[in-house]
Amino acid sequence: MNSIIQSIKHHVFEDQKKSKNRFIELLQRSPILINQPEIHDKFVEWYKDKDRSISKNASSLISDLPISDRYTDLIQLHLTALTAEKIQAVWDVLQVVCKMGEKVATDEVIKKLIVLLGNTDNSVKCNAVEALGRMGEKAVTDDVINELLNLLDQTNERVKRSTCEALGRMGEKAATDEVIDKLLILLGNKDERVRHHASEALQNMGEKVATDQVINRLFILLDDTSDDIKRSACVALGRMGEKAATSEVIHRLLTLVGDTNDSEKRRAREALRNMDETSAANEVINELIILLDDTNHDVRRTASEALRKMGGKAATNDVINKLINLLGDSDHHVKLSAYETLLEMGEKAAADEVINKLINVLCDSDHHVRHSAYETLGKMDTKTTTDEVINKLSIRLHDRVRSSACELLARMGEKSKTNEVINKLIILLDNTDTSIRSSACKVFARMGEKAATDEVITKLIILLDDTDDSIRSSACIVLDRMGEKAATNEVINKLVLVLDDTNLTVRNTAFEALGKMGEKAATNEVINKLTNLLSDNDSDVRFRACRAIEKMGEKAATNEVINKLIFLLDDTYDCVRHSAVVALGKVCEKAATNEVINELVILLGDMSSSVRENACVALSKMGEKGATDEVVTRLISLLDDEIDYVKGSAIAALDEMGEKAATNVVIKKLTTIINGKNGSNIWKASKALRNMGKTSASNEVIGMLLDAYVHGGNITFEANSIIGEILEASSSMSDLKDDTVRKLSNYADQSTLWSSIKVSPEKFIEAFLETKVSFWLPIIRTVFTIHEYGFTVAGNSVVVFGCQESFELSLPNKELGKQLVDYFIDG
């Protein structure tokens, strides 16, 4: 405690401006500490010091700290100081009282401040006014209001400004008729800043001051020569809400939206937004309709936004027609606003004309406009509207907006009216026009599982025999999107037949569909067929068969499949070897035999980089089962591979193998990679080291990172992060070996290391007390200094300060406490 008091004294007596802010932040985080009686008594002593600079520094520091209001003697000191003879001393205390605000808002202090309102020195007077203002509603008494009203009649403009500001801070509670009348008069003051502060005071009083007289005066200020006054008038009118929403005010605010001043535009828009839907009077709506034709695009857009805020109440025929016209506006922001307004107005705007217009612009060149049209049509979801939209879009499936129509129908089908859309589309699957059948399939593909009804699936099975290649392919794609929901025996059997289709695209989509159905498609018939295709003469077929098996996972892992995949690891085509490796990785549990692992080890040396990469991936899927000494050795050699993505897959594999791969050689190699240039591999190596560091290899990881720390570069940055995460994840840092702590201690003066570590400082003291290893002491001092923590040793405990609440630790013996304190004092 004594060392903390000495630190506070140093800042009070020496006025350490450079470090003062950080020191105050530390004390602010420790309310329990600064409210200790010993510290409080020292504040009182320094406050009473005859040296005015010391007294001033002490009172200033007090005002910045969360000192409990139970210490009334400190408030009494402020009161005494307010009666000082020297003006400068009074002014200094007023500065402190201003900062403390409500904390010192007692009757005695308020009375003292009222007396100071009559001081002949305008600076004192202004500071007393500000102090009352910062007390807010707590300072609102009849006496205070009367004195402030008198000040509004003063000739000094600075006093008037300060008084307006104080009344504004007091809010609605200060909004008496007399105050409002005085502020209205000041709205016409010749001093621009007085007008501005009077307007701000009214805006802070909100709807309570929203009389016709006030609104009219603020309306006049919208044409003031000062931009600041115009802005504050906008804010004041906006806060008054619907009471201020007259047609004249709205018209003028919308005009300001077209102003060149961005700040005025923003304030005017905010004011209009606050005049919500309850202001939807006919005269206001009529005024907005006129402004929808304004030559300024900002005015048109804001008029639309104002109508949107009014919602369904503004959805008259005239408004809807005007908004429909804006759907073709030259400014895309105006278009967007019109769409969104129509959407907000709901069912009243969902007329046939609107739907036609929206459908026509689904192929607009502006993607923002297209998106907004989709949203508008998609959300007009009453039954009548949905039927209309579906009918119109179904007709449009043959023309230039086909893709957009399909997209929208699919989105509508994802909502509650799925059956309505599906029923319309099922009919289209029988259309003689190939493009119509194809477009209907696209919609079903977009819907995915939601469209997987028995009737749809039956139709798709029929389409698998369609004479048109593209339709057969489209049917496969739809079944692919439906996934397991479409995996009936009839579908699966049909897809097996399609695997022999003469058209390459159809065959490929059939493979994908079976693969997407996953384990459900892994019937004996399918697996036998895929097994046979693994020996097909066509390399693309072998490749696709591997892909399908990969997606079926372990259920496809028969001995025959595994043997065939092993055989394909020697295929002459890279893509086949690649897919065979990936498939083995997916069926890893059953495939993790010595024979497979040995074959994969061979492939780690394959000439094809993609094969080497996927051999690593397959081994990583096998986890610890694949972590043989030979595998780890070969993976280590790939850490020097000339291809970065191969190197990255080797890092990932070692990471997945866990503690078995955490050898000194691996850790050293990964540490070297961190200092490389490939960002992806740096990240992977860093992740691997983090994971290894959270195992029994924590000492090795930290030790090697610190050994490499001196090299700088990436290693320094990543080491900070990795070491921090390992320490943070550690349940007890006392488990670290003495040599590891020694290395950490050697880098105790490296602020970049310790400033990035997010371990609670008290954990370092815990480790020292448990292990009694003195190497922890330099670390503790550095961490506590950087994070601005403090501690006291009293009796058999150590109390740590700096967090929101103090943290107490038991001392095993007093000698350790003495050692801790002595190191801080002498070190």
Task: Kindly list the domain boundaries of the chain, sorted by start residue.
Answer: 1-68, 732-827
Query: CA-to-CA distance for 557 and 290, rounded, in angstroms?
Result: 73
- Average pLDDT estimate for 767-783: 89
CB contact at 8 A, 671 and 704: yes
Q: Supply 320's token pair.
A: 């809807």
Least-confidence region, from 8-22, 559-573, 655-669: 8-22
Taking only the tens place, the pLDDT of each residue in 263-317 is: 665 666 666 665 654 455 676 678 778 888 888 888 888 888 878 877 777 778 7
- Assess whether pLDDT exceeds 70 at residue 685: yes
Residue 624 has what pLDDT? 77
Predicted pLDDT of residue 19: 47
Residue with the two structure tokens 């009348």 = 181
The predicted-structure confidence for 181-228, as pLDDT tens digits, reads as follows: 888 888 778 888 888 888 888 878 866 777 677 777 777 777 776 777
**Which has more confidence, 491 or 191?**
491
pLDDT of 416: 41
Please give the C-alpha separations between residue 364 and each of 277, 367, 391, 404, 719, in angstroms, as whole numbers.
31, 7, 21, 10, 53
655 band by pLDDT with thresholds 50, 70 and 90: very high
Summary count for the chain: helices (H), strands (E): 49, 3
> In what helix (H) or strand (E) does residue 810 lie, and over which residues does it extend?
strand 807-810
* pLDDT for position 383: 46
Task: Find out whether 339 and 372 touch, Cβ atoms under 8 Å.
Answer: yes
Query: In this structure, which amino acid lies at residue 712?
Result: G
Q: What is the mean pLDDT of residues 543-571?
A: 84
Place of tokens 């506590």: 784
Q: Is the pLDDT of residue 417 over 50?
A: no
Q: Which helix (H) or strand (E) holds 801?
A: strand 797-801
Question: Which pLDDT score is estimated for 566?
Answer: 79
User: Is the model's pLDDT at 425 over the cut of 90?
Assistant: no
Compute CA distances 5 → 71, 246, 315, 790, whole Å: 18, 62, 70, 11
Q: Are 74 and 67 a contacting pair, CB within 8 Å? A: yes
Token pair in block for residue 541: 């077929």
Asked if 244 and 282 count as a contact pair (C-beta separation under 8 A), the reply is no
Q: What is the length of the chain?
A: 827
Return the minimum-mean-pLDDT range out of 21-30, 613-622, 795-804: 21-30
pLDDT-derived band at 635 (thresholds 50, 70, 90) equals very high
* Buried/exposed code over 367-399 (b: 16+ C-beta within 10 A; e: otherwise): eebbebbbbbbbebeeeebbebbbebbbebbee
Residue at 571: amino acid letter: D
**Number of C-beta neighbours around residue 743 at 10 A:** 20
For the beta carbon of residue 544, count every other beta carbon within 10 angstroms: 26
| Distance, C-alpha 41 to centroid of its chain | 46
pLDDT value, residue 277: 47
| pLDDT tens profile 313-341 | 777 878 888 887 888 788 888 888 888 88
Q: Work out the burial of residue 642: count CB atoms within 10 Å of its CB; fewer than 13 is exposed, 13-18 middle, 19 or more buried.
A: exposed
Contact 440, 425 (CB under 8 A): yes
**CB–CB of 500/470 below 8 Å?**
no
Tokens standing for 518?
Answer: 């996953």
296, two tokens: 């300024």
Q: Provide the pLDDT confidence category of residue 255 given band limits of 50, 70 and 90.
A: low
Residue among 392, 305, 406, 386 nearest 357 (CA):
392
Q: 628 pLDDT exceeds 80?
A: yes
Instruction: Judge whether 555 and 515 are in contact, CB under 8 Å.
Output: no
**Between 19 and 821, residue with greater pLDDT:** 821
pTM of the model: 0.48
Q: Give the pLDDT of residue 265.
A: 59
Written in H, E and C, the secondary structure of 603-670 is: HCCCCCHHHHHHHHHHHHHCHHHHCCHHHHHHHHHHCCCCCHHHHHHHHHHHHHCHHHHCCHHHHHHH
**pLDDT at 461 > cutoff 90:** yes
Angle between helices 142-151 and 122-134 (to 10 degrees): 140
Q: How many CB atoms lie within 10 A of CB 433?
A: 11
| 3-class SS of residue 732 | coil
Average pLDDT over residues 375-385: 59
The one-letter amino acid at 355: I
How far is 207 from 239, CA to CA, in rounded Å? Answer: 7
Residues near 601 by beta carbon (within 8 Å), at least 6 away in sequence = 630, 631, 634
Least confident residue range of 23-32, 312-321, 726-735, 738-747: 23-32
What letter would DSSP give residue 460?
A: H
Confidence label for 533 from pLDDT (cuts 50, 70 and 90): very high
Helix (H) or strand (E) holding 23: helix 17-28
d(CA 150, CA 641): 85
Q: What is the pLDDT of residues 593-616, one digit of tens each?
A: 777 788 888 889 988 888 888 888
Residue 384: the pLDDT is: 44
- Of 514 and 262, the structure prediction assigns the larger pLDDT to 514
Q: What's the confidence (pLDDT) of residue 640?
A: 92
- What percentage of the chain reaches a pLDDT higher than 70? 72
208 in Cβ contact with 182 (< 8 Å): no
Rg (CA), the chain: 39
152 vs 149: CA distance, rounded Å: 5
